[in-house]
Amino acid sequence: MIELEKLKAAHSNASTTLVGKSLPNIPWENKSDACKNVVWRYSKNPIIQRDLLPFSNSIFNSAVVPFEGSFAGVFRCDDTKRHMRLHAGWSRDGFDWQINPEPIKFICEDPEIGNFVYGYDPRVCWIEDRYYVTWCNGYHGPTIGMGYTFDFKTFYQLENAFLPFNRNGVMFPKKINGKYVMLSRPSGPGHNDFGDIFYSESIDLNYWGRHRFVMATSPDLCWQSTKIGAGPIPIETKEGWLLFYHGVLTSCSGFVYSFGAALLDLNEPWKVKYRATPYLLSPQKLYECVGDVPNVVFPCATLCDAPTGRIAIYYGCADTVTSLAFCQVDELLGFIKANV
Ligand code: BMA
């Protein structure tokens, strides 16, 4: 009870750069005194083990949102046949998840599009009245699949947003200048060694255009020198859209996936205001370095509490398990601006 009173007091007094709702039940753990980083890991990571489902090989790169006073999400579960599928899940506290063992079966008007081949790396975005889901969808190669749900029970599939090949389709959580807006990363058919982030608009979620370049890799960007891709749904702050994104370095034993952050212009989000040069989190813990694909941290979702500025980041580890990390928005924005 005393803790609850403290929480309420913190909420009523606090003011942060975050724009949005309060989420007093955000999963959270304070930074330890020993930690010097702006993003810190949950001490009990990973929160979702690879074999949570009877037939799961791995559960990672997944997306969660606040839902009816608790939490829901869409999870990437690769099964023991190594099919890549999307599953709905629910949690009371954001740490402990129940995932439906049956994959999502999207209702789709056109069987050409609704013929689900594979899906991975989902993002979930509340816009206006429903939860939109975007994912990397198999349609003659990877492209951006789209759908929506109201209740995480029935899911409807829309047209693919783009032609193959494309990955990391990430919507903004509200219309900007009257248009739906999405970031994506045009790419090649396989594990290619290039990829920059672009911006696209749509009036009706059917046709996408007005494409704009957002940001690129370059050899001197080191941890993000091979390819980059948008991570969680961008977070609205008073100073711009806060974008977490993954970046890839090619080492002599393969790709290394880290993540960092940038701040995009509020009205013209293809304009980058600040881009931090150091990473925020790189694969360093055993569960990030060892797994089906070693040395991968891959964020796909955040939960945010505007009054306290708390951000919880859900990220996939080594293409095997799912973990949580935390940061505080004003400390993070200070870090980004001081490290461009
Ligand atoms: C990317 C995607 C991600 C994966 C990453 C590392 O191309 O396939 O799902 O986490 O590679 O393997």
Domains in the chain, ordered, with CATH? 18-338 (2.115.10.20)
Q: What is the pLDDT of residue 15?
A: 77
Mutate to test the pocket of ligand 1, among 84, 257, 290, 297 (most ligand atoms within 8 A of CB): 257
d(CA 247, CA 228): 4
Instruction: Name the closest-CA residue to atom 3, ligand 1.
Output: 121
> Could you identify the atom of ligand 1 that is nearest to the CA of residue 316?
10
- The string of DSSP codes covering 77-139 is EEETT--EEEEEEEESSSSS-EE-SSPP--B-S-HHHHS---EEEEEEEEETTEEEEEEEEES
Ligand 1 proximity of 132 Cβ (cutoff 6 Å) = no
Instruction: Name the closest-CA residue to atom 1, ligand 1.
Output: 191
Q: How many CB atoms lie within 10 A of CB 206?
A: 10
Please give the distance, rounded to the nearest whole angstrom, from the Cα atom of residue 298 to the centre of ligand 1: 8
Ligand 1 proximity of 319 Cβ (cutoff 6 Å) = yes
Nearest to 247 by CA among 299, 313, 169, 187: 299
Q: What is the pLDDT of residue 12?
A: 47
Give pLDDT < 70 ranges for the chain: 1-14
Distance of CA 200 to the CA centre of its chain: 18
Nearest to 75 by CA among 87, 58, 92: 87
Q: What is the pLDDT of residue 334?
A: 97
Q: Specify the pTM.
A: 0.95
Q: What is the pLDDT of residue 7?
A: 53
Decide if 122 contacts 169 (C-beta within 8 A): no
Residues found in the chain: 340
Q: 3-state DSSP call for residue 265?
A: coil
Mutate to test the pocket of ligand 1, among 50, 296, 314 (most ligand atoms within 8 A of CB): 296
Please give the distance, rounded to the nearest whole angstrom, from the Cα atom of residue 308 to the centre of ligand 1: 32
Ligand 1 proximity of 257 Cβ (cutoff 6 Å) = yes
> Could you identify the atom of ligand 1 that is nearest to the CA of residue 293?
12
Q: What is the pLDDT of residue 1?
A: 45
Instruction: Name the closest-CA residue to atom 11, ligand 1.
Output: 191
d(CA 277, CA 264): 15
Instruction: Compute CA distances 323 → 2, 27, 276, 312, whole Å.
Output: 29, 12, 23, 10
Q: Is the dihedral of CA 222, 227, 230, 236 positive or negative?
A: positive
Ligand 1 proximity of 288 Cβ (cutoff 6 Å) = no
